[in-house]
A and B are shown apart, each in its own frame.
Chain A
Amino acid sequence: MRQRKTTWAAIIVAVVALCLISVLDATAQKKGGVLKVGNLGEPPTLDAHWTTATITEVLTNHLYEGLYALDARSQPIPMLAEAMPAVSKDGLTYTFKLRQGIKFHNGKEMTSADVVASLNRWGAQSTYGKGLYARVAEVRAVDKYAVQMQLKEKTATVLISLAIPNNFAAIYPKEVIDKFKPAEKATEWIGTGPFKLVEWKPDRHIKMVRFDDYQPRKEAASGYGGRKVVHINELLWMPVPDAATRVAQIETGELDFADDLDLNAYDRLKKTAGVQPIVAKPYYWLVAVFNKKEGLMTNQKLRQAWQAALDMEPIMKNVAGGHAELYRLDSSLAFVENAPWHTKIKGLPWNEHNRDKAKRLLREAGYKGEPIRFMTTQEYKWMYDFALLTKQQLEDAGFTIDLQVVDWATLVKRRNNHKEYDAFTTGMGNFYDPTHHIYLGPNWPGWTDDEDLNRMLAELAGEGDYKKRFALWEQVTRAFYDKVPVARYGDLFGLRASRAHVKGFDTTLMRPRFHNVWLDK
């Protein structure tokens, strides 16, 4: 009898506790308010199909959605598609069922006609879309809520290409697509996303509000996908180009959130009451890209000598302003956070800081101290910093480096001309599929046109089995460190900050998202 009483008591306590938790939870997630986000400037466009620029990626992912999104493990999960696609036995036909009753910001329901038009436009204009569409024969509507993609040849990259957030396969209404051909930037920004654009005043703000007809998915939020609920009324993006001003504005509370902050501000932000510094992982791995079409760096031995001479620790420490939390030494071509493709191969010739080996390789290369033109820019301080330290380390090993400091617009122009440089600095972001690593292929500045790498990448694109693909990816990584198409440095992290009253922000995301965020003022 006593036992039964205790059981009942336990059940009652549990129910009351559960009720209390749900009530507390409901009150915790306050609705309303304006969230002011300071970012570094104006986007070149809000047409997601048009550019790979990070700022456009961040903004447009609040307005539009694709058929799939990436979860916390960087794996595709359904977003506007109802579920994972049905794939035919020969692997050539993908059928996507769409969610029903999904509204665009203009009130129109999303149907297969919108999806077909959007995918075709994305396939004609976007970097990743073009990559996938090289293998696509046709995309057509099966019925009002189903779309079929017919492939010319089998590829494992369909889902990942549709899910990546950069230059992404955003679904627009067909009317918008009809108005703006792929080569023309769309200037009507209508999507199905949880936020709706109300005003874009260049250099002043981009104002988004909660889209009340948005229908969240049932699955829990994970990465860039799952359940998205908008608690705030308004999301105000303020372009603040000066990094010191962004830091001051988050300190005074004029901004609720500030992105892309100078790493040197880390200590100051940690000490400021009411401010939480957030380390953004991953950000970039730093890289020196070699010109393999013409000039000195076409010599593989010379590239290997560059790789052998580098001592990553002092370089990365300096770039990260001395903060160990803001960088990481890792040789995998995919970030740790990109779990499916992160490799742990031991004994790669990375971070060797072996001056003797470098000198031997220089001799074998027949190098006579000719100046190597190494382009960098001060517009991104981290690029300049690592270029400067690289010059020093390489010259200690016997290189002659002609460091050419130009502005970013000049750098991106010159790097497309094989006559103008031997190496340039940049950063590599997160590539979600092995076939997307641009520096491994022949179509990107530096022009890696290597027979072995091309063959392995083609195999990777055609192979469907994950285990076989991973084995191939490890082979690519080994080949990479032998052929050295680019010199991989360490991982650098980004710095952002929020005020303490900003709650629910997912700090594990590489790029910020403001759904599921609320203000506790």
Chain B
Amino acid sequence: MLVVVTVVFLLIHLIPGDPVAVILGPEANAQQIEDARRELGLDRPLHEQLLRFYARLLRGDLGRSYFLDRPVTQALWERAEPTLVLMTAALFVAVLIGVPTGIVAGAYQGSWWDRGLMTLALLGVCVPGFWLSLNFIYLFSVRLGWLPVAGYASVLQDPVAAARYMLLPAVSLGFNQSALIARIARSCMIEVLRQDYIRTARAKGLAERSVIFLHAFRNALVPVVTVIGITMAILIGGAVVTEIVFNIPGLGRLIISAILRRDYPVVQGVVLLTAAAYMLINLMVDVVYAYIDPRIRYA
């Protein structure tokens, strides 16, 4: 975590750019810019700014945004809900499409089903998310008028509006990932179906459905869960583009605008939060392993 914090601090401060010149506007003169830099402590040497940053961090203080006139923690908190909702919905879409597709393709390896679904999955991996988003908007919002182009409504306040706003972003973000999940699920299924105990199950005269769902499915799940974990991590990154295109006021949009304006404390805050989220996801994946496969025990 310390490494992440330091690297991010140095990276964002070493790229050229000046938050103050952006805040004060194009017609501000050099003197005004210098005065404002002093006010924000940006005229201090870099190592001093870094030490101050560490000191604040130890007190749990992420600093204040130069632009938003509020503590970074508050800015993060305000934007956490849209990103969480988007990620959950996209993950749901990814799993809902990916897992059954992979299982079916794996179970009927070599069939037309397998070939058709895997071609679709290949397409899913290849199509860039933003391209899909823009086409979805053009088709479903501009041409057909079924769904709104962009925006956000809180799930807690208006669930129906929230669902309408979230459908296109969740599908365009989740579709890419579903392809990855489908491919992994398929190869795991194929591998599991070659195991001795499956042959035994079939030899006992069990129905194919029971063989697939009772004996093979759970055993094929462990690698799939790893991929879902990775997917969640990828979704954090993918959410940035989706949030911009669909105008969702989440963390992805926050970090992009913060980088463009060189709002250093906000960039550091978002990256720190993301790093923490990655760690949490990894931990969750490990816990789920143990549940799925009782042989896995952590001493």
Interface residues of A (CB under 8 A from B): 41-42, 44-45, 50-54, 56, 127, 130, 166-167, 183-185, 187, 201-204, 238-242, 244-245, 248-249, 251-252, 254, 379, 406-410, 412-414, 416, 426, 438, 443-445
**Whole-angstrom distance between the Cβ of A458 and the nearest chain B Cβ:** 17
Q: How far is the CA of A118 from the CA of B39 in the complex (A)?
A: 21
**A414 & B149 in contact (Cβ 8 Å cutoff):** no
Complex: A293 Cα to B253 Cα, angstroms: 39
Stretch at the interface among B92-100, B135-143, B219-227, B289-297: B135-143
CA–CA, A240 and B256, complex, Å: 13
Contact for B150 among A203, A245, A379, A414, CB less than 8 A: A245
CB contacts (< 8 Å) of B31 on chain A: these are 443
Q: Does B26 contact A (CB under 8 A)?
A: yes
Complex CA gap A130/B22 in Å reads 19
Query: Number of B residues whose C-beta is below 8 Å from A?
Result: 50
Question: Which residues of B approach A to under 8 Å, CB–CB?
Answer: 15-19, 21-33, 35-36, 39, 67-69, 75, 78-79, 134, 137-138, 141-142, 145, 148-152, 244-247, 249, 253-254, 256-257, 260-262
Return B92 CB to nearest CB of chain A, in Å: 24
Which residues of A lie under 8 Å from residue B30 when comparing CB positions? 416, 443-445
Q: Which of A167, A201, A408 has the most CB of B within 10 A?
A: A408
Chain B positions within 8 Å of A438 at CB level: 27, 29
Given contacts A44-B67, A248-B150, A252-B148, contact A52 B16 (CB under 8 A): no
Contacts of A202 in B (CB 8 A): 68, 75, 78, 249
Query: Once the chains are docked, how many angstroms separate the CA of A166 from the CA of B149?
Result: 33
CB–CB B247/A245 < 8 A = yes
Checking B23, B75, B249 against A51 with a beta-carbon cut-off of 8 angstroms, the contacting residue is B23
The residue that A409 contacts in the complex, of B137, B141, B246, B260, with Cβ under 8 A, is B260
Q: Is the CB of A127 within 8 A of B28?
A: yes
- In the assembled complex, the CB of A396 is this many whole angstroms from the nearest CB of chain B, namely 30
With A241-B247, A251-B142, A254-B150: A51-B25 Cβ-Cβ less than 8 Å: yes
Q: Is A41 in contact with B244, judged by CB distance below 8 angstroms?
A: no
With a CB–CB cut-off of 8 A, which chain A residues contact B141? 248, 252
Give the chain A neighbours of B134 by CB distance below 8 A.
244
**11 A-B contact pairs sorted by A residue (CB < 8 Å):** A50-B23, A240-B247, A241-B253, A244-B245, A245-B150, A248-B149, A252-B142, A254-B150, A407-B260, A410-B17, A412-B21
Q: A44-B261, A241-B247, A248-B142 are in contact. List 13 more A-B contacts (CB 8 A).
A: A44-B22, A51-B28, A54-B25, A127-B25, A127-B27, A202-B75, A239-B247, A241-B244, A252-B145, A409-B261, A412-B18, A413-B21, A438-B29
Q: Are B16 and A406 in contact (CB under 8 A)?
A: yes
Min CB distance A288 to B, Å, is 15
Q: Is A409 within 8 A of B18, CB to CB?
A: yes
Q: Tell me whether A254 and B25 are in contact in the complex, defined as CB-CB below 8 angstroms, given that A183-B36, A202-B75, A241-B244 are known contacts.
A: no
Instruction: Tell whether A183 pairs with B39 under 8 Å between CB atoms, given A44-B22, A242-B245.
Output: yes
Ranked nearest first, the 9 interchain pairs of A and B with the lowest CB-CB distance are A52-B25, A409-B17, A413-B18, A203-B249, A412-B21, A52-B27, A53-B25, A443-B29, A51-B25
Tell whether, in the assembled complex, residue A412 and residue B27 are in contact, meaning their CB atoms are under 8 Å apart.
no
Tell me the complex Cα distance, A245–B148, Å: 11
| Closest partner residue, chain A, to B19 (CB atom) | A409
Bound Cα distance A53, B26 (Å): 7
Q: In the complex, what distance in Å separates the CA atom of A445 from the CA atom of B30?
A: 8
CA distance A203 to B28 in the complex (A): 25
Docked pose: A240 CA to B249 CA in angstroms:
10
- Find out whether the CB atom of B27 lies under 8 angstroms from the CB atom of A166: yes
Q: What residue in chain A is nearest B25 (Cβ atoms)? A: A52
Question: Within the complex, which residue of A42, A183, A409, A416 is in contact with B262, where a contact is CB–CB below 8 Å?
Answer: A409
Q: Contact at A245–B78, with CB atoms within 8 Å?
A: no
Interface hub of A51, A251, A252, A412 (most chain B Cβ within 10 A) = A412
Residue of B26, B31, B75, B254 with highest tally of chain A CB at under 10 A: B26
Cβ–Cβ < 8 Å partners of A241 in chain B: 244, 247, 253, 256-257
Closest CB of chain A to B260's CB: distance in Å? 6
Closest to B246 in A: A245
CB-CB under 8 A for A245 and B245, given A52-B28, A127-B29, A438-B27? yes
A167: B residues at CB distance < 8 A: 25, 27
User: Quick check: A248 and B137 within 8 Å, CB to CB?
Assistant: yes
Q: Which residues from B are CB-within-8-Å of A426?
A: 26
Query: Please, which residues of chain A bring their CB within 8 A of the CB of B149?
Result: 245, 248-249, 252, 254
> How far does the Cβ of B24 sit from chain A's closest Cβ, in whole Å?
5
Residue in chain A with minimal CB distance to B151: A254
| Structural contact, B21 and A416, CB atoms closer than 8 A | yes
- C-alpha gap A239/B247 in the complex (Å): 8
A203 contacts which chain B residues (CB < 8 A)?
Answer: 79, 249, 253-254, 257
Which one of A251, A379, A413 has the greatest number of beta carbons of chain B within 10 Å?
A: A413
Chain A residues with CB under 8 Å of B33's CB are 416
Shortest C-beta distance, A374 to chain B (Å), equals: 16
Is A42 touching B67 in the complex (CB atoms < 8 A)?
A: yes
- Please indicate the chain B residues that have their CB under 8 angstroms from the CB of A410 in the complex: 15-17
CB < 8 Å neighbour of A41 from B32, B245, B257 = B257
CA of A41 to CA of B254, assembled, Å? 11
